[in-house]
Structure 1
Amino acid sequence: METARQPDTDARRRGHASSVALKAAFKIAERWELTDAQLATLLGGVPLATLRRWKRQLRQAGQVRTALTRDQLDRVSYLLGIHKALHILFPNAAQADGWVKRPNTAPGFDGRPALDIMLQGGMDDLRNVRRHLDAWRGW
């Protein structure tokens, strides 16, 4: 009987983790002033209709009725790490949140904002921005 309950418990955990992750992603998107299309790209090319359904579900029920994929959860993790690093590096929130849209002359950015790099859509693009900030922080 225990094995019959296990999948339901795992599904609830994944659903809860997905809801928490999406709430964080939507908050970061708001702070960075991202469009839905930009956030959909950062989450791995999620269809806009899906992204908007998730927003609606969170607003109405406080949770989503789907479990994010491992890739999507990893992408949210990178966004959280980037957001956290920026708020450690910059003394005020406006500077931290605006950094992703400012031109960057650091190696690998070629004068482009970090958001442009991240919007190329690859996991490596998110990882590289995160690594840049971790190196800047001395990690």
Structure 2
Amino acid sequence: MLEEIPRTVAAPDSPQITAAEAEAMVRAVLRLFERWQVSDAEAREILGGLAPRTYARWKAGAPGRIDRDLATRLSLLMGIHKGLRFLFSDPERGYAWVKKPNLAFGGRTPVEIMAQGDIFSLARVRSYLDAERGGW
């Protein structure tokens, strides 16, 4: 006999990113930066001008408290990664894409755009990838 599986609630009880989720995103983003071959200086700018000491703690596995701005940046980076995985069947091509000049960004690389430091630059790259994969 068939049994109905309970549906996932469309609106979660907690719309906030939990500390555990933020820490998991930190670990994922650090691995992503390695795959993208992003320098520590570029990574800190992408993360909104994170202090070198704080970034070193992140890399040592102690991210500490993640504020709303950082959580949003981490979420945008996860969305960029997801978009690249949808667009490229070969993950290595997706990882390489962020370092290639792109006419949509005035001939600059996506990493250069993201490393401008403002959250809108991250959103710009995310929106571009969403549009490319038909996410509008």
Q: Could you say whether these structures have the same fold, taking a TM-score greater than 0.5 normalized by the shorter chain as the test?
A: yes
Check conservation: 2:54, 2:63, Cα contact below 8 A: no
TM-score after normalising by structure 2: 0.82
In structure 2, what is the equivalent of residue 134 of structure 1?
130
Are 2:118 and 1:114 equivalent residues in the alignment?
Answer: no
Whichever residue aligns with residue 89 of structure 1, its letter is L
1:52 to 42, 50, 56: 56
The 3-state SS of whatever aligns with 2:44 is helix
Whichever residue aligns with residue 115 of structure 2, its letter is L
Q: Compute the displacement of 1:91 (Å).
A: 1.7
| CA distance 1:136–1:124, change in 2 (3 Å) | same
In structure 1, what is the equivalent of residue 38 of structure 2?
34
In structure 2, what is the equivalent of residue 93 of structure 1?
91
In structure 2, what is the equivalent of residue 71 of structure 1?
69
Q: Percent of counterpart pairs with the same letter?
A: 39
Check conservation: 1:102, 1:114, Cα contact below 8 A: yes
What's the CA shift string for 1:70-107, capped at 9, x where partnerless?
A: 0001001111100110111012011100001101012x
Gaps of 5+ in 1: 1-12, 59-63
The 3-state SS of whatever aligns with 1:101 is coil
